[in-house]
Amino acid sequence: MANTALEAEYERAKRAQYETLTTHYREIGPASLLAALICAHRLNESKEKQARAA
């Protein structure tokens, strides 16, 4: 049960993060939005790797 609540909160936070990007890049177009999402995902992965290494 707690795991489900944790997953739901994670998804909500993830959607909130991407909603900001979507709003920002809406006028540029879908390709730019996709590029921004990929960049954000890679940046997040890099930060997680650095945190694990520390």
**Which pLDDT belongs to residue 39?**
93
One-letter amino acid at 27 equals E
**Which pLDDT belongs to residue 1?**
54
**Which pLDDT belongs to residue 2?**
63
The pLDDT tens digits of the residues spanning 41-53 come to 999 998 888 888 8
Query: What contacts 37, CB < 8 A, 6 or more positions away?
Result: 18, 21
Please count the structural domains in the chain: 1
Measured N-to-C along each axis, helices 2-25 and 30-53 cross at an angle, to the nearest 10 degrees, of: 130
Q: Which stretches of the chain are DSSP H helices?
A: 2-25, 30-53
Q: Could you say which residues of the chain have pLDDT below 70?
A: 1-2
Beta carbons of 40 and 21 less than 8 angstroms apart? yes
Using a cut of 0.75, tell me whether the model's pTM lies above it: no
**Which pLDDT belongs to residue 33?**
77
The domain in which residue 33 lies consists of: 2-53
